[in-house]
Amino acid sequence: MAPTDDTEPAARHAATPTVTTPPARPSADGAAAPGARMPRWLPRAMVLALALIAAFQLGSWAFHQLTALLINILIAFFLALAIEPAVSWMAARGMRRGLATFLVFLGLMIAIAGFITLLGSMLAGQIIKMVEGFPAYLDSVINWINQTFHMDLRRVDVQEGLLHSDWLRKYAQNSAAGVLDVSAQVLGGLFQLLTVSLFSFYFAADGPRLRRALCSVLPPARQAEVLRAWEIAVDKTGGYLYSRGLMALISGIAHYILLQALGVPYAPVLGVWVGLVSQFIPTIGTYLAGALPMLIAFTVNPWYAVWVLIFVVVYQQFENYMLQPKLTAKSVDIHPAVAFGSVIAGTALLGAVGALIAIPAVATLQAFLGAYVKRYAVTDDPRVHGHRSRGPGSPGVLTRIRRLAERRPGTEESSS
């Protein structure tokens, strides 16, 4: 039977093999093939990357702008930790916490104001004394120059030369221009002091509320750790402040007795100066504290300055090796090398503020790690005590030296 016209196209289509077109491959030079589409995730990834970069730049800019405020808050927090024991002691005896904090701050402000007033009166008296004695000092210098170099100088000529000199005129102009800068720095310092005082007052007065707010966002296990760390920080910071205050009192009394015995003027103020500066300015506080009494003692008698220097050095050794270990054994028990390194690190990070808070911060961290780091008993090995271990039967150093000394030249040749 012959095929019809309708069945021929179908048979021809069935007989024709099916040819599949392979997918287009990217060219060797990396160019996309014609008709290729961008992945759907790529625009979102680009937008997310740009958003992260913008957020990082914004956060970096905000951090740099708020650095001064963050440092003030850090100072206020450590100050609040330092006065926390006194405030808690008064609050435990029925006094409202806000009133107790106000009384502590009032006592601190009265003490600081009294110290600044006494120190200012002492400096003003010394400046007036130096100005009044300047003509006599200038006459003595001119007489020494005339006798030594056979010159004929007069005080009037020297004064006129100084008054009409160019460097004095430039110095006066620069000083007048710098008055505004000094005023701006003074106002900035007062504003910074007010900021630190307000934050520290709120931290100390609302300490329990702040702890509850912090613990409310943590699970119970973490709450116990945070409260323990807070308690350690309060103990170490308060102990550091009170131990330093006690050492400052002892140092001030000791230096006052010496200065009063030598007849140096302003002995009470100088004693307070030495006590505070030597204790609350780390590393270089002793040298700064001893410089001012030495200078004033030198105006009375040059040998008095030598006696003050000797007493400062001797007392510093007594304090380092006898007084300080006993007073800070329970409050801030850290190695002197660790304390020195922490002060250097704090100074490099935050300047003078870092130097002041470095020691209590490191003491807090050390106590916190000591509470959670597991310790083991140390084995009884001679190397622990610094002794070198020798193998069994190995001769000692003296034995080896004696054997070498007993050896004669040519012994090995005769033995062979």
Pick from 370, 367, 75, 96: nearest CA to 230: 367
Overall average pLDDT of the 257-273 stretch? 87
> Which of the given ranges, 57-61, 210-214, 323-327, 411-415, has the highest pLDDT on average?
57-61
- Classify residue 303 as left (phi > 0), alpha (psi -120 to 50) or beta: alpha
Q: What are the tens digits of pLDDT across the range 187-213? A: 877 888 888 889 989 888 888 888 888
Q: How far apart are CA 360 and CA 244, in angstroms?
A: 11
Average pLDDT value for the chain: 76
Q: How far is it, in rounded angstroms, from Cα 211 to Cα 193?
A: 25
Rounded to two decimals, what is the model's pTM?
Answer: 0.62
pLDDT tens for residues 57-73? 999 999 888 888 888 88
Q: Residue 117 contacts by C-beta under 8 Å, 6 or more apart in sequence? A: none
Which pLDDT score, from 0 to 100, does residue 347 have? Answer: 77
Q: Which of 208, 232, 175 has its CA nearest to residue 371?
A: 232
**pLDDT tens digits along 388-405:** 655 555 555 566 677 766
Please give the single-letter amino acid code of residue 345: A
Percent of the chain with pLDDT over 90: 6
Q: Is residue 1 predicted with pLDDT exceeding 50?
A: no
Please spell the DSSP secondary structure of 198-264, one letter per residue.
HHHHHHHHTHHHHHHHHHTTS-HHHHHHHHHHHHHHHHHHHHHHHHHHHHHHHHHHHHHHHHHHHT-
**Predicted confidence band of residue 257 (pLDDT cuts 50, 70, 90):** very high
Instruction: Please state the rounded mean pLDDT for residues 9-29.
Output: 50
Cα 347 from Cα 335, distance rounded (Å): 18
pLDDT tens per residue, range 92-112: 888 898 899 999 989 988 988
The full length of the chain comes to 416
Q: Which pair of structure tokens corresponds to residue 30?
A: 């990396």
Going by C-beta distance under 8 Å and a sequence separation of 6 or more, which residues neighbour residue 275?
247, 248, 249, 250, 251, 252, 253, 255, 289
> How much is the average pLDDT of 132-160?
77
pLDDT above 50 (res 415): no
Separation in Å, CA 136 to CA 122, 142, 175, 303, 343 = 22, 10, 27, 21, 45
Instruction: Please check whether residue 278 is in contact with residue 286, taking contact to mean a CB–CB distance below 8 angstroms.
Output: yes
Q: How far apart are CA 274 and CA 268, in angstroms?
A: 10
Q: How confident is the model at residue 176 (pLDDT cuts 50, 70, 90)?
A: low
Q: Could you tell me how many helices (H) and strands (E) the chain has, helices first?
A: 16, 0
Q: Which two tokens stand for residue 60?
A: 């970096």
As given in the structure block, the two tokens for residue 90 are: 């008064």
Give the pair of three-digit tokens for residue 365.
């961290």
Side chain identity at residue 220, one-letter code? P
Rounded Cα distance between 49 and 55, Å, is 10
